[in-house]
Amino acid sequence: MSDLKTLFGQNVANRRRELGLSQEALAEATGVTVETISHIERGIHGPRFGLIEKLELVMDMNAESLFKK
């Protein structure tokens, strides 16, 4: 079983790819650095609540789905 940060990161990466966005484009749209997006996608860091809200808007999904398998 993967931890929550890893699961969240995998879901962000998968959705980003589905939308055809680069890490750079997602970083720009959410107001964070590419390094932040990379760290989230690799499960190194978990996002802050404000970033989760921005990811919901940019990626057109709810936060709950970002935490599900």
* Burial classification of residue 41, based on how many CB atoms lie within 10 Å of its CB (0-12 exposed, 13-18 middle, 19 or more buried): buried
The arithmetic mean of pLDDT across residues 10-32, rounded, is 97
* pLDDT tens per residue across span 32-68: 999 999 999 999 999 999 999 999 999 999 999 999 9
**Which of the following CATH numbers is that of domain 4-61: 3.90.79.10, 1.10.260.40, 3.40.309.10, 1.10.12.10?**
1.10.260.40
Is the pTM here over 0.75, yes or no? yes
- For the chain, the structural domain boundaries read 4-61
Question: Can you give the pLDDT at residue 6?
Answer: 94
Question: Residue 21 — pLDDT band, cuts 50, 70, 90?
Answer: very high
Q: Is the pLDDT of residue 1 over 60?
A: no
Q: Which residues neighbour 16 within 8 Å (Cβ) at sequence distance 6 or greater? A: 22, 23, 26, 37, 41, 59
Q: Judge whether residue 69 has pLDDT over 60.
A: yes
